């Protein structure tokens, strides 16, 4: 976003935001995973073993904060007014008391549960977007995030069988994903790494030529489905023209360098160098050139080059995850509904089914929300004050598409494992 908006942010404005708008109760319900009820199977210590971490003004980091209930969490946040709230794992013991347990020598203070998380950041795409760079995003490059959501969300559901998935706008230049099924929260680091690796196609670092290398006689079904259902269309219908991927010499050379066959590359180069304006002016030059490129590569004359079309598309579209975030249980991730300190935008949930419609430039900002409360007058609502503001839809989405189904599943889980335990203890008495 622009520098003007950046300077708009002032931590003083956070007080009314936490005071009136931040959905504490929802965050608490979420993080309790059903253990906030009266059921005898509930683990009353569960929420209290979760690490929260705050960034305060003046770059003060407070790690290992923990709370026993919703009121403690709410009071602490209202009191400290953090610029950023991070959520960590659930540990074996209350993280605030970790030092007491560390004495024993045997490390009893270890993470036991953590959502499977993904962090996708636009800065990792700087070599394939020309509209902005670094921390900036615009509607021309945002489709890269839409693609990531679609590809990863579909796979998490259909392939890994997860159901409770929350996507959140990171407030500036990317998206976060929280997979919250019980099964996901209990994955080991090795299993997390395996999932992250499963999604990794981009293998080059700065020093290797080819960034994506697809080998073998066919694409793995996951890659094949992603390609036909998402990547291909977004590349051809959006990114090719949005980003002008083939419009200038410098840019098309980048794509030509990915073609292993020198004769094809030079044939294309020849055509693109002289017939700069000869094709019909109506048609987009990127589209025309891409069609020529595809046609030559897929002509069949050169076996082994068909994969090259896919490699180019993957290079320019396929999701790039920050692997380290997903691989370990103890990575922190910013809580939803935080306000990004640079943009002032709220980290709102994104509906994966309608992620095409998501527009990062219209996400409500802190100041916009505060103005809305002031203008509305304090219209009391049972739901809290957010419901009348632009944040209303976001909180409603969070509840209906994520929190409510999650809570239902958690309660069923607790019931089931409680009954199982009862059954087992009965059996052992009988014996």
Partner 1 sequence: MEIVRPHSHRNLFSSNDAASAPTIPLYRSAPPLEVRLEDFESFAIDRLRVLKGISDGLSRGKKPDEMEKLVSELWKVNMRHQHASEVLNKDIISHFVLRLVYCRTEDLRKWFLSMECALFRYRFRFLTAEAQRAIMDEFDITCKAVNIMEFESIKEKLGQVARSMGQPLPTGDAIFYKVPFEDVPELVAGRRVLLSQGYAYVAMNQVVSLVATLFRSQLSKTLILTNRKWTSSIREQEKHRLTPIVEALCSSYLGPDFSQPKEYAEISLKDIDQLAKTSFPLCMRHQFDKLKEDHHLKHGGRMQLGLFLKGVGLNLDDALAFWRAEFSKKVGLEKFEKEYAYTIRHNYGKEGKRTDYTPYSCYKIISSTPGAGDHHGCPYRHFSEENLRAALSRMGVNSRAMEDVMNKVRNRHYQLACTLTFEALHGVPCDAGINHPNQYFNDSQKILQPKKDSST
Two tokens at 101? Answer: 């347990």
51 is catalytic: yes
Residue 127, CB half-sphere, CA atoms under 13 Å: how many? 16
Q: Is 209 exposed, middle or buried (0-12, 13-18, 19+ CB in 10 A)?
A: exposed
- From the list 26, 36, 51, 153, the catalytic residue is 51
- From the list 36, 115, 119, 181, the catalytic residue is 119
Nearest approach in angstroms of CB 318 to partner 1 is 12
What's the chain's length in residues? 431
Q: State the Cα–Cα distance between residues 146 and 388, nearest whole angstrom.
A: 28
Nearest approach in angstroms of CB 301 to partner 1 is 22
Give the relative orientation of helices 70-80 and 24-32 as an angle to the nearest 10 degrees.
130
Nearest approach in angstroms of CB 216 to partner 1 is 4
Which residues are bridge partners to 169 per DSSP?
175
CB distance 201 to 226 below 8 Å? no
Q: Checking DSSP bridges between strand 174-179 and strand 111-113, what pairing results, if any? A: unpaired
Q: State the Cα–Cα distance between residues 349 and 356, nearest whole angstrom.
A: 14
Q: State the Cα–Cα distance between residues 251 and 154, nearest whole angstrom.
A: 31
Helices (H), 159-218: 182-185, 189-198
Q: What share of the chain is helix, strand, coil (3-state, %, to 5)?
A: 50, 10, 35
Nearer to partner 1, 160 or 367 (CB): 160
CB distance 326 to 116 below 8 Å? yes
Nearer to partner 1, 156 or 297 (CB): 156
Q: State the Cα–Cα distance between residues 24 and 73, nearest whole angstrom.
A: 8
Nearer to partner 1, 191 or 383 (CB): 191
Nearest approach in angstroms of CB 361 to partner 1 is 25
Nearer to partner 1, 61 or 253 (CB): 61
- From the list 74, 121, 372, 385, the catalytic residue is 121
Nearest approach in angstroms of CB 80 to partner 1 is 18
Which value, in Å, is the radius of gyration of the alpha carbons in the chain?
Answer: 25
Nearer to partner 1, 95 or 392 (CB): 95
User: Which of 50, 86, 113 has its CA nearest to residue 168?
Assistant: 86
- The footprint of partner 1 (CB under 8 A) covers 59, 61, 63, 106-107, 124, 126-127, 158-162, 183, 187-188, 190-191, 193-195, 197-198, 200, 202-211, 215-224, 320, 323-324
190 is catalytic: no
Nearest approach in angstroms of CB 250 to partner 1 is 19
CB distance 342 to 6 below 8 Å? yes
Nearest approach in angstroms of CB 319 to partner 1 is 12
Nearer to partner 1, 125 or 386 (CB): 125
Q: State the Cα–Cα distance between residues 328 and 115, nearest whole angstrom.
A: 10
36 is catalytic: no
Nearer to partner 1, 127 or 371 (CB): 127
Which residues are bridge partners to 61 per DSSP?
55
Catalytic residue ranges: 51, 119, 121
């Amino acid at each position: 976003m622009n520098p003007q908006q950046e300077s708009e942010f002032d931590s003083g404005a956070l007080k009314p935001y936490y005071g009136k708008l931040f959905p504490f109760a929802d965050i608490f319900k979420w993080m309790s995973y059903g253990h906030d009820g009266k059921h005898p199977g509930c683990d009353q210590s569960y929420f209290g073993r979760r690490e929260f971490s705050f960034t305060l003004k003046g770059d003060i980091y407070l790690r290992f904060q923990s709370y026993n209930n919703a009121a403690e969490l709410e009071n602490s946040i209202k009191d400290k007014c953090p610029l950023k709230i991070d959520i960590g794992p659930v540990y074996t013991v209350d993280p605030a008391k970790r030092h007491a347990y560390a004495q024993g020598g045997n490390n009893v203070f270890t993470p036991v549960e953590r959502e499977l998380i993904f962090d996708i950041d636009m800065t990792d795409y700087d070599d394939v977007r020309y509209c902005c760079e670094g921390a900036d995003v615009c509607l021309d490059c945002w489709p890269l995030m839409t693609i990531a959501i679609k590809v990863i969300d579909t796979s998490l559901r259909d392939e890994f069988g997860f159901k409770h998935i929350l996507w959140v706008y990171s407030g500036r230049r990317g998206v976060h994903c929280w997979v919250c099924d019980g099964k996901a929260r209990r994955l080991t680091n090795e299993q997390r790494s395996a999932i992250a690796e499963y999604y990794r196609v981009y293998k080059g670092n700065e020093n290797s030529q080819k960034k994506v290398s697809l080998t073998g006689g066919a694409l793995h079904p996951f890659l094949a489905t992603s390609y036909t259902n998402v990547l291909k269309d977004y590349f051809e219908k959006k990114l090719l023209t949005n980003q002008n991927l083939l419009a200038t010499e410098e840019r098309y050379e980048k794509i030509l360098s990915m073609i292993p066959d020198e004769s094809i590359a030079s044939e294309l180069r020849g055509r693109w160098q002289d017939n700069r304006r000869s094709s019909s002016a109506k048609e987009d030059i990127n589209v025309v050139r891409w069609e020529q490129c595809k046609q030559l590569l897929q002509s069949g004359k050169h076996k082994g080059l068909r994969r090259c079309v896919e490699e180019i598309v993957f290079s320019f579209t396929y999701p790039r995850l920050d692997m380290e975030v997903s691989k370990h249980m103890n990575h922190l991730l910013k809580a939803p509904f935080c306000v990004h300190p640079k943009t002032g935008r709220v980290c709102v949930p994104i509906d994966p089914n309608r992620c095409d419609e998501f527009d990062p430039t219209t996400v409500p900002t802190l100041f916009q929300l505060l103005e809305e409360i002031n203008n509305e007058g304090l219209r009391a609502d049972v739901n809290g004050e957010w419901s009348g503001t632009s944040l209303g839809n976001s909180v409603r989405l969070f509840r209906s598409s994520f929190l409510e189904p999650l809570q239902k599943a958690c309660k069923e889980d607790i019931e089931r494992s409680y009954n199982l335990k009862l059954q087992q203890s009965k059996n052992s008495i009988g014996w």
